[in-house]
C-alpha cells in the first residue's frame, strides 16, 4: 500500500491522520512541508532566516489557539500568547521534516512551554515542583467534584480518593492553592481611616531573649569566681552601685575594685565562649 507524503517533501512519510485523510483537523495548521524541507537544506544566513520567519508567521495562529486553552488560569492572554510563540520558535528550530508532521511535534512543544511558564514563572516564591504538581492535581479534582450546581465543597478524603493521593498530599496541595501569589508587606489590611499594613502586624525582635541567653552562658563562669569577685559583680551590675561605693563598703581602693571587675568579666566571658582561664589567685 503506498504511503501518503506532504506536497513538496519528497520521500518523507507522515503518520498524521489529518494528512492521510486529505484534510487538516485545524484551519490554523497550514501545509508548510515544502518550506520545512527547504529550510532543512539551508545553512545559516538571510535566506534561512526569511524562511524561518515565514514558518513562524504561518503557524502563529495555532500557537495562539493553544495559549487560549490556558486563559482562565490567572495569566493575561497576551502574555500566554508570547510564551506560546516562544514555544513555536523552538519547535520550528528543532523540527526535522523527515520524522513526521510538524503539527504533531509543535503542539506538545508549545503546550509544554506554556505549562513550564505556569510552573516556573507564575509563583511569587519558588516552590518545589512536587508541590506545584500536587496543587494542579488537587485543583483539577476539586473542579471535577463540584462541576454540578449545588455540589458541596469536596472533603480532603474525597479528593484523595479521586486522585489516588494521600490525605497529607491533598492537604499540601490545598495549601498551595492559597499560596500562588504573595501579599506585599505594604498591603493595607483595613479600609477605615486608621488603616494599617501587613507589616504593622509583624512583631519585632525582643532584646530580652538575648539577655536570657547571655545570662545562661555566664552562669557557670560566675559560679567559678571567688566569693569576693561574685559579690563585687552583684553589687555593680545588679544593685547598680558605683565602684567608689563598693570600695568603701569592702575597705579596698576604687582602683582595685576596677581591676577585679575587669578581670572577673574577662574570666566569665572567656568561659562562656568556650575558652579556659586559670583559677583566680
What is the pLDDT, as a whole number, of residue 135?
81
Per-residue confidence band for 212, with pLDDT thresholds at 50, 70 and 90: confident
Per-residue confidence band for 198, with pLDDT thresholds at 50, 70 and 90: low
Between 237 and 192, residue with greater pLDDT: 237
Q: Which domains are assigned to the chain?
A: 17-120 (1.20.120.1810), 129-182 (1.10.10), 207-272 (1.10.10.10)
Of the ranges 14-18, 53-57, 68-72, 137-141, which one carries the lowest mean pLDDT score? 14-18
Distances in Å between the Cα of 102 and the Cα atoms of 23, 44, 57, 203, 205 are: 15, 21, 14, 58, 60
Reading the block at residue 89, the C-alpha cell is 520558535
Pair 57, 37: CB distance under 8 Å: no
Rounded distance, CA 38 to CA 20, Å? 22
Residue 167: which residues within 8 A CB-CB, separation 6 or more? 156, 157, 160
Is 50 exceeded by the pLDDT of residue 34? yes
Rounded distance, CA 153 to CA 161, Å? 15
What is the pLDDT, as a whole number, of residue 132?
75
119-153 tens-digit pLDDT: 666 666 666 778 878 887 888 888 888 776 667 88
Rounded distance, CA 108 to CA 86, Å? 13
As to burial, measured by CB atoms within 10 angstroms (0-12 exposed, 13-18 middle, 19+ buried), residue 36 is buried
What is the pLDDT, as a whole number, of residue 10?
33
Q: Return the closest-CA partner of residue 165 out of 139, 127, 128, 126.
A: 139
How large is the average pLDDT for residues 72-94? Answer: 86
As to burial, measured by CB atoms within 10 angstroms (0-12 exposed, 13-18 middle, 19+ buried), residue 252 is middle
Of the ranges 57-61, 182-186, 244-248, which one carries the lowest mean pLDDT score? 182-186
Is 50 exceeded by the pLDDT of residue 7? no
What is the pLDDT, as a whole number, of residue 180?
61
Per-residue confidence band for 22, with pLDDT thresholds at 50, 70 and 90: very low
| Percent of the chain predicted with pLDDT > 70 | 71
Is 60 exceeded by the pLDDT of residue 226? yes
Of the ranges 7-11, 20-24, 55-59, 205-209, which one carries the lowest mean pLDDT score? 7-11
For residue 227, give the H/E element and its range. Answer: helix 227-237
Between 273 and 93, residue with greater pLDDT: 93
Q: Return the closest-CA partner of residue 82 out of 117, 108, 30.
A: 117
Amino acid at each position: 500500500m503506498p504511503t501518503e507524503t506532504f506536497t513538496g517533501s519528497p520521500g518523507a512519510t507522515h503518520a498524521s491522520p489529518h494528512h492521510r485523510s486529505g484534510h487538516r483537523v485545524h484551519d490554523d495548521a497550514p501545509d508548510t512541508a515544502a518550506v520545512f524541507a527547504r529550510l532543512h537544506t539551508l545553512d545559516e544566513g538571510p535566506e534561512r532566516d526569511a524562511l524561518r520567519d515565514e514558518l513562524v508567521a504561518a503557524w502563529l495562529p495555532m500557537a495562539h489557539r493553544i495559549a487560549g486553552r490556558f486563559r482562565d488560569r490567572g495569566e493575561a492572554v497576551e502574555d500566554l500568547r508570547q510564551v506560546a510563540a516562544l514555544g513555536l520558535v523552538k519547535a520550528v528550530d528543532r523540527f526535522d521534516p523527515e520524522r513526521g508532521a510538524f503539527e504533531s511535534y509543535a503542539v506538545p512543544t508549545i503546550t509544554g512551554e506554556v505549562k513550564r511558564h505556569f510552573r516556573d514563572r507564575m509563583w511569587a516564591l519558588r516552590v518545589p515542583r512536587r508541590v506545584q504538581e500536587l496543587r494542579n492535581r488537587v485543583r483539577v479534582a476539586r473542579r471535577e467534584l463540584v462541576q454540578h450546581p449545588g455540589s458541596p465543597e469536596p472533603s480532603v478524603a474525597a479528593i484523595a480518593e479521586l486522585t489516588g493521593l494521600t490525605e497529607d498530599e491533598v492537604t499540601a496541595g490545598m495549601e498551595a492553592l492559597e499560596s500562588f501569589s504573595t501579599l506585599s508587606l505594604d498591603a493595607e489590611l483595613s479600609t477605615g481611616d486608621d488603616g494599617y499594613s501587613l507589616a504593622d502586624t509583624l512583631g519585632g525582635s525582643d532584646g530580652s531573649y538575648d539577655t536570657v541567653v547571655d545570662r545562661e552562658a555566664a552562669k557557670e563562669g560566675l559560679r567559678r569566681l571567688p566569693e569576693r569577685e561574685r559579690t563585687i559583680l552583684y553589687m555593680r551590675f545588679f544593685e547598680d552601685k558605683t565602684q567608689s561605693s563598693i570600695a568603701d563598703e569592702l575597705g579596698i581602693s576604687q582602683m582595685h575594685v576596677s581591676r577585679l571587675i575587669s578581670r572577673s568579666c574577662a574570666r566569665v566571658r572567656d568561659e562562656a565562649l568556650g575558652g579556659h582561664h586559670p583559677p583566680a589567685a
